[in-house]
A and B are shown apart, each in its own frame.
Chain A
Amino acid sequence: MKEVYLNMPQLAPEDFLPIFTSATLVMIFGIIFVGLYTFAKLEKIPSFYQYVGYLFWFGCAYSLYMLSTLVGSGDFTRKVLMVAMLAYLILPHFIYFLMQETHEQHD
């Protein structure tokens, strides 16, 4: 019978906590970024929080980089992930633009 094996990097037990932590931080930083951006744009909080939001985006991107390194992703995958993070940076701006346009048309 043909031997079956998985071509996948083994993870060290001590890496699991940083992996789960960085995965959580990707999500938490990610939502704080869009949350601050949204509230600042809605003028529910001072506008400088929008820039604080960008710091959280940076934290999000760094956490994702950490995660991809810890799980042994290849160079190409890491680059794709960073491009995805750039798209994530643009996303709330784009959605807000659409909202504004629709609101203006509606009003």
Chain B
Amino acid sequence: MLNSIKANKLQFESQKIGMMYFRVAIILFGAQLLMGLIAAIQFLYPSFLFELFDFSVARMVHINALVVWMLYAMIGSVYYMIPDETGREVIGAGIAKLAFWVLTAAVTVVVLVYIFVQVGSGTEMTIWLINEGREYLEAPRWADIGIVVVVLVFYFNVFATYLKGERTGVMTVMVANLFALAGLYLCGMFFTDNISIDQYWWWWVIHLWVEATWEVFVGTLAAYALIKIIGAKREIVEMWLWIEVLMLFGSGVLGLGHHYFWIGTPEYWWEIGALFSALEPVPLVAMFVHVLYDWGKEQGQVEAEGGAHAINNGPAMAWIVTNAFGNFLGAGIWGFFHTLPQVNIYTHGTQFTSAHGHLSFFGAYATILIGMMYLGLQGAYGIKNMRATKLSKWAIFMLVFGVLGMAVSLTIAGYEQVLVERAELGATWEAFFTAQNLIWYVQAQGWRLVMGVVTFVGFALLVVDLLTIGKKEAGE
């Protein structure tokens, strides 16, 4: 991946910028996993790094690094696909590079402040310089504003290039969706005195990102990747994409209601949240069928013409198929477990939520973004047919096994919490600590740590593969 800087066969600056974003994304992915391991150890040994690097800090960096690496990889993916979709170079390559370096410098400063300064005195200055204190979006206000500026530059580039170039269906969805994705960030940038109202708007960012705009983003990337990897017919893929957009927004927007069950919002959100959340897995089924259908059709056609297989990028396709399964499993099954208010009142805030979060972020987003990185490498080395190496296969196996293992362990811990802490002991403060010390909970957390290590090993293999596969395959 690093060698791709020297051996760059990419013709467009836009795609080179995409690769720059991918490189930072993978570093932040590593930081995310490292912080996760520290937090997992602290679940078992609370004194580990106590008052030096507390659980609250490790967890915050873990989640923020996750969000940021995914946003990096998303921006990288868009820059990478722009020339293929619009048929032209990005309008402002120079300003895009400047924005990349500004964003990367800002993210570095924010992470260093998180790690070394950690918390402030709780004054207005803390919000501006250290930490906004708003879960998942902790970036201090200066960085918040900086992010908006960088995203405006990015959006200008995408939109202006789209207007001047070819306007494919895939790119139209991407441009419209990015507008919503970027705009929603503003909902997390202001405070209100009423915590219910504050949370109400904050969920617009969190939910309408991960269960609406990010999912549409994934659908768009999958559409692009299927055209690129298996030569799927654009008309078919774009028709699917529109159906998916309809279903994803149709269920996902009001699915927001499942976050409004217990934050002081009116009770009618119970019905709205239950109904639309229950519908949310349907588009995930459609996306799953979409990948299988297109793959099956194209493969059948290639075989009928005497060819062996339709796929021209093995590792990218493997990650995209994993995405189709993972999205359904993590977001669909693990989400449906606890989306009804009658059940959610017991599961809310337990390790069930954590299990769902781990599997769905990995299954729905990490997988396809890693697939896009392999696509980028294929382009950077000018490889016609990129096959999976042993390392690619081990990396995907270890990562999937590790994350699935973590999700199962956390589900067991969550189930114990639901039964003991919530149903039997009544969700009191004492009940919380009783549940934390029960054998099932402790053992499940132990297994989560083991599986976290497996995940980290998988990540290390992935990095080695990304660094070497291009040269190896180009050589052959």
Q: Determine if chain A interacts with chain B.
A: yes
Assess whether A51 is interfacial by the CB under 8 Å rule: no
**Beta-carbon nearest neighbor of A101 in chain B:** B239
Minimum CB–CB distance from A24 to chain B (whole Å) comes to: 6
With known contacts A13-B424, A71-B342, A98-B243, A28–B236 Cβ distance under 8 A: no
Q: Is the CB–CB distance between A39 and B296 below 8 Å?
A: yes
Chain B, interface SS category: helix
Contact mask A17-36 → B, CB, 8 Å, 1/0? 00110011011101100110
The distance in angstroms between the C-alpha atoms of A66 and B415, with both chains bound, is: 20
User: Is there contact, CB below 8 Å, between B293 and A42?
Assistant: yes
- Majority-rule SS of A interface residues: helix
**Cβ-defined contact, B288 with A95, below 8 A:** no
- For the complex formed, measure the closest distance between the CB of B198 and the CB atoms of chain A, giving whole angstroms: 20
The reply on A54 being an interface residue by CB < 8 A is no
Q: Within B323-344, which residues are at the interface with A (CB < 8 Å)? A: 328, 332-333, 336-337, 340-343
Given the known inter-chain contacts A13-B424, A23-B336, please indicate yes or no for A103 contacting B286, CB distance below 8 A.
no
Per the bound structure, the CA–CA distance linking A56 and B424 in Å amounts to 35
* Chain B contacts for A95, CB-based, 8 A: 243, 286, 289
Q: Which residues of A contact B418 (CB under 8 A)?
A: 16
Interchain CB contact under 8 A, A26 and B336: yes
| Interface pair B289/A35, CB less than 8 Å apart | yes
| Distance of A84 Cα from B281 Cα, bound (Å) | 13
User: Does B115 have its Cβ within 8 Å of any Cβ on chain A?
Assistant: no
- B282 near A27 (CB under 8 angstroms)? no
B69 to chain A, nearest CB (A): 28
Cα A99 to Cα B289 in complex, Å, equals 12
Within 8 A of B (CB), among A36-91: 38-39, 42-44, 67, 71-73, 80-81, 84, 88, 91
**Which B residues form the contact surface with A (CB < 8 A)?**
233, 235-236, 239-240, 243, 267, 270, 275, 278-279, 281-282, 285-286, 288-289, 292-293, 296-297, 300, 328, 332-333, 336-337, 340-343, 345-346, 415, 418-419, 423-424
Mind listing 16 A-B residue pairs with CB under 8 Å?
Answer: A6-B345, A8-B341, A9-B342, A16-B415, A23-B333, A27-B332, A31-B285, A38-B292, A39-B292, A43-B300, A73-B342, A80-B275, A81-B278, A92-B289, A99-B239, A103-B236
18 additional contacts, CB 8 Å, given A12-B423, A13-B424? A6-B345, A11-B342, A16-B415, A16-B419, A20-B337, A23-B337, A24-B333, A27-B281, A27-B332, A30-B285, A34-B288, A35-B292, A39-B296, A44-B296, A71-B342, A71-B343, A99-B236, A99-B239
Shortest beta-carbon contacts, A-B, top 8: A71-B342, A42-B296, A27-B333, A13-B423, A106-B235, A38-B289, A102-B239, A23-B337
